[in-house]
Structures are given as C-alpha cells and as structure tokens.
Amino acid sequence: MPLRFRYSQKYQAQALYELDRELVNKSLGAAPGFLMGSIWVMYHRLETVQYAGLVGWLGVLLMFLAVSRYGIAYLFEKTVIDFQSAAKFIKYNIVANGIFWSITIMVSIIELRFKDANSNITTICLLIGFVLSSMMTLSNNLRLAYFFQSVMIAPAGFCLFYLALADNNDMALSASVILLIAFFYMLNQNRIAHTQVVNRIQYALDLEFTNKLLQESQAQLIEEKAKLQHSTRLAAIGEISGEIAHEINNPLALVLGYIELASDQLASNASPKEMVIEKLNKATKAISRITKIIKGLRQYSRGTLNEPFSVILLSEIIDDVMDFCSEKFNHHAIQLDTDFENDCQINCRPVEISQVVLNIVSNAIDELVKLPTGQRKIRIKTEIGPTSVKLLVANSGPKIDPAIKSRLFEPFFSTKKVGIGTGLGLSISKNIVDAHSGRLYYDDSGEFTVFVVELPVYA
C-alpha cells in the first residue's frame, strides 16, 4: 500500500471519522450505567443531610445528561442533525458528565468527611466504577479519557489526602493511595487500548484502500483483456485478408458479367425477358454473398467489452465462421465435413464464440497445409446433452505431442515458427469459454486431433 495514502487528508479525515463514530457508539453503551447511577443518587442522596438537596438536583442533572445521549442519537438517525454535530455534542456531554459526577462525589466527601464506612464504600465504588467504564468508552479519544479520569479522581484524591492529614483519618489516606494507584494504572491502560483501537481502524482503512486498488486493477485487467481479444481478432483477419479479398473479388466479377449480359440482351431486344431476369437474379445472389461477407467482417472486427449476452442458435455462429473461412478452405484444398445434431440455443457473446471457433479452425488449417492435398480434412460436429452442447472441431493433421499437451493453453506458447501467430489464440479462447461457464479442452482419444468447446445449453 502506498505510504502517501497514510498521510493524505482523505485518510486522516476518514480515521478521525471512524474514531468519532466509535466514541458515539460506546458512549451510548455507557449511558445506561450512568442513567441508573444518577437515579440512585437522586433517591439515595449519598447519605448526605446538609447537602442532600444539592445532591438530589445534581442527580437530576446527571440523569438529563445520560438521557440526552439517546436524544442526540435519535436526531442523528432521523437526519435532523449531521454526524459532526452529534459527535461534538457527545464530547461536550462527556466533559459535563465528568465534571458533575466529580462535584457530586466531592460534595459527599466534604460533608461526610469519609468517616462513615458505608458511605465510604459507596463513594469509592461509584468513583472507581465510572472511571473504569471510561477506559472502554474513551479508549479511542485519549484527551477525553485523560480529562474524564483526572476530573473524577484527582479532586477526590486531593480532598481525601487533605482529610487524612487534617482529621488523621487512616481510611481517607488509604482511599487516596488507592485512587492514586488506580489513576496511573487506568491512564496506562487507556494508552494501550487507544493504540489497539487506532491500529484496528488503520488496518480497516488500509484493507478498504487495498480492495479499491484491487477492484480498479481488476477493471483495468478486464479492459486490457478485451483489447487483447480484439487485437487477436484483427490479427486473424489480417492473416486471411488475402482469401477474403479473393472471395469478394469473385462475386464482383460475376456481378459485373451478369449485368453486362443483361444489358446486351436488353439492347438487342432479341432475348426473352426471362433470360434477363435470370441474369439479374444471379447478380443479386452474388451481391448478397458479398454483403454477408462484409457484415461478418464488420461484426468480427468490433470490440466486445460492453457487449451483452444474447440468445442465439449455435448453428448460426458456426455458419458465419465457415462462410468467413470458405475461401481459405478452397485455396488450401481442405475438405470440410459438418455433422450437426438438432440445433440448440446458447446464451453468449456471439462474436467471442465466433473468435473461439475461428482460432481453432485457423490452427487446424495451419497444420493441414503441411499434409499432401488429398489428406486435408476438417470435421465439425455437435453433440447435445441435457444441459450442455459439445462442439467438436477435428482435423486430420498430426497429433499433438503429449509432452506439450499440458502447455497448449498457456499464453504465448506456440509450436509455430517465430513470426507466425501470436501464441495467444488458444489461451484467449479458453478464457472466453471459461467466462461463458463452459470448457475448452483437447481430446486425443480418437484418430483425429480434436478440440472440444463445451457450453451450457440455453433452456
């Protein structure tokens, strides 16, 4: 993770927000204890007589402070106030709570002078109990923690120490020593707890930042992968561009010849109308052939990054690829046999599945040209199962060496000469099929070299 992220304003602001959010949540958790303590003070008055009225009103004030925490949480939940205002109120509430609890206990100590055993126990329990609770509540804010613990313990400790000297009160001396030990112990524990809280929040923020980087990298990887697939398709088009030009040239020549014949027949007025129409129909079919080739070329060369899945007949994809490669088959004298069972639909990106089939067929052609003319064969067949369809592309070329079988789908691995092919065709094809929840594998169990594309059938 870049270190500059730790020192960025965004990071610091997020860390402070998380600390404040934890403070608000923990203060609400401590509110019931302070509420019950304030109610007890209202009725018990800490056994005071002279200052009983003052202690009672202090109890009412403390109860209001405890209840107000719930009120501010409710207002924030209803979006009446924002989080910053709620957090600021809670901090002031904690400060006021510490001051008024300290005054309440001091009033009790001043009147009773720490001589009655029962009141002594009650006072120390209240004091230590509330300070101990602040260790968890304020562990994420050291300033508030030190203030609360100091304002609660220091005045009472000094007062007890004074009473021990002025009245020769051994219990007051013992209590002041206990408070001194508790004070330093809790300060140290707060520091340790604060470090743990900060480390936990930093870890969470670092993890969130790392996840964001991973998501961005994944998105970039998907985009680069799509660009690589597109580049591979364009490379395949470049490899067969000569055959495509030849395939377009032949129909154009036919169109030109048919139109010239039809023109001559119309000019002579000797030929029957049916003969002219026949020539024009043949010209129209040739133009349709050219249109289909160009349409396939445009479709195959476009990007597929944002192309949605669509339901299409598998036979349509195969027919388009075969039309695309037909001139290459003719040029290299390759015999094509097809065996399609009952047709089925698949949910896919048609251009990507076309690329898979074309990559496999192109690899087969590259191997077949090494054979004598009469031995060049490609067989394409489908086998439809209950949930999936297998497209088998077999060629009569030499079987693949078992030693390299495990590396067939590795990126940039190729058995072709340097400068021929990219070594990415099968690797990209496998990624495409995997993304379609299918499988692409090599089957060496039969006589021919067979690659199998297995895809889910669309129900």
pLDDT of the residue at 222? 67
pLDDT of the residue at 1? 47
Name the β-bridge partners of 200: none
Residue 319 region, left (φ>0) first, then alpha (ψ -120 to 50), else beta? alpha
CATH of domain 308-456: 3.30.565.10
Give the whole-angstrom CA distance, residue 40 versus residue 380.
Answer: 88
Give the three-state DSSP class for 448. coil
Domain residue spans in the chain?
Answer: 3-214, 240-301, 308-456
pLDDT of the residue at 179? 86
Q: Which residue has the tokens 């998907």?
A: 222
pLDDT of the residue at 7? 58
pLDDT of the residue at 99? 94
CATH 1.10.10 fits 240-301, yes or no: no
Q: How far is CA 241 from CA 87, 203, 248, in A?
A: 69, 56, 10
Q: Which helix (H) or strand (E) holds 346?
A: strand 345-348
384 closest CA partner among 317, 314, 309: 314
**What is the Rg, in whole angstroms, of the alpha carbon atoms belonging to the chain?**
43
- Residue 456 dihedral angles phi and psi, to the nearest 5°: -65, 140
Give the whole-angstrom CA distance, residue 146 versus residue 162.
Answer: 23
pLDDT of the residue at 128? 83
Cβ contact 124:134 at 8 Å: no
185 closest CA partner among 151, 153, 156, 143: 153
Please report, in tens digits, the pLDDT of each residue of the chain (459 residues total): 454 555 567 777 777 888 888 888 888 888 898 899 999 999 888 888 899 999 999 999 999 999 999 999 999 888 899 989 999 999 999 999 999 999 999 998 888 888 877 777 778 888 888 888 787 788 888 888 889 989 989 999 898 898 888 888 888 888 888 888 888 888 888 888 888 888 888 788 778 778 887 887 777 776 676 666 666 656 655 655 555 665 566 667 666 776 776 776 677 766 676 776 776 777 776 676 667 666 656 665 555 556 778 888 888 888 878 877 777 788 788 888 888 767 788 898 887 888 888 888 888 888 888 888 888 889 988 888 888 988 999 988 878 877 787 777 777 666 666 555 556 678 778 888 888 899 999 888 877 889 999 999 887
Structure letter (DSSP) for residue 443: E
pLDDT of the residue at 98? 92
Give the predicted TM-score (pTM) of the model.
0.51
pLDDT of the residue at 220? 77
232 closest CA partner among 359, 318, 353: 359
Give the whole-angstrom CA distance, residue 338 versus residue 325.
Answer: 14
Name the β-bridge partners of 454: 390, 439
Equal CATH topology for 240-301 and 308-456:
no
